[in-house]
Amino acid sequence: MSEPLHLARREHGLSRRQAVAAIGTACIFAPAAAEATPDTARRLLSELVKVAPKAGKVRIDIPEIAENGNSVPIAVAVDSPMTPTDHVRAIHIISERNPLPGVASFLLGPDNGKAEVHLRMRLAESQTVIAVAELSDGSAWVATREVKVTIGGCN
């Protein structure tokens, strides 16, 4: 005759009590979700660009008020002739308060013709958006824009 079903289950797996205890323990010791801060964004900026960026040359076109943070249009343009000796090598977009502050990085060269990128990005809440451009001469240029978000998009 076979054993009762409740005893057989315990031999081959976790009891309900053991499973609940394991899940509770995992929740207690699991790392908290990353919360981005302006300091996190500054650290990322210093990792991406090894020189101190200067203000100028970079323009950000983004709405001042984004009604829905799930899809915010942004355009970044850099004043550059885009010649083989004088061009933009990269454009980085950083958000100060998204869970992951690095929004996008674009590698460019003189063949791009224009130093300009367009995209839609998610914004978790009202925050500062940073765009930094690395040029072929080793310099870096930055621009920032404040955006008010009525409905966050990074939940």
138-150 pLDDT, tens digit per residue, is: 999 999 999 999 9
Residue 154 resides in a domain: no
Q: Kindly state whether residues 14 and 68 are assigned to the same domain.
A: no
Q: Kindly state whether residues 19 and 50 are assigned to the same domain.
A: no
Task: Flag residues of the chain having pLDDT under 70.
Answer: 1-36, 153-155
Question: Which residues lie closer than 8 Å to 41 by C-beta, 6 or more apart?
Answer: 94, 95, 96, 101, 128, 130
Question: What pLDDT, on a 0 to 100 scale, did the predictor assign at position 31?
Answer: 41
Task: Domain count for the chain, please give it.
Answer: 2
Q: Kindly state whether residues 104 and 136 are assigned to the same domain.
A: yes
The residue type at 14: L
Q: Kindly state whether residues 62 and 82 are assigned to the same domain.
A: yes
Residue 77 resides in a domain: yes
Residue 112 resides in a domain: yes
Question: What pLDDT, on a 0 to 100 scale, did the predictor assign at position 37?
Answer: 77
The CA distance from 7 to 15, in Å, is: 10
The 10 Å Cβ neighbour count of residue 10 is: 12
Q: Kindly state whether residues 7 and 80 are assigned to the same domain.
A: no
**Residue of 81, 124, 74 whose CA lies nearest to 104:** 74
Q: Kindly state whether residues 80 and 116 are assigned to the same domain.
A: yes
Q: Kindly state whether residues 23 and 53 are assigned to the same domain.
A: no
Displacement of CA 142 from its chain's centroid (Å) = 17
Q: Kindly state whether residues 51 and 116 are assigned to the same domain.
A: yes
**Residue of 50, 52, 144, 53 whose CA lies nearest to 97:** 144
Q: Kindly state whether residues 145 and 71 are assigned to the same domain.
A: yes
Q: Kindly state whether residues 47 and 96 are assigned to the same domain.
A: yes
**Residue of 142, 145, 90, 87 whose CA lies nearest to 121:** 145
What CATH number is attached to the domain comprising 66? 2.60.40.2470
- Pairing state between β 54-55 and 140-149: parallel
Q: Kindly state whether residues 142 and 68 are assigned to the same domain.
A: yes
Question: What pLDDT, on a 0 to 100 scale, did the predictor assign at position 56?
Answer: 93
Q: What is the pTM assigned to this prediction?
A: 0.74
Residue 134 resides in a domain: yes
Q: Which residue range is the domain that position 62 belongs to? A: 38-149
The CA distance from 39 to 42, in Å, is: 5
Question: What DSSP state is assigned to residue 96?
Answer: S
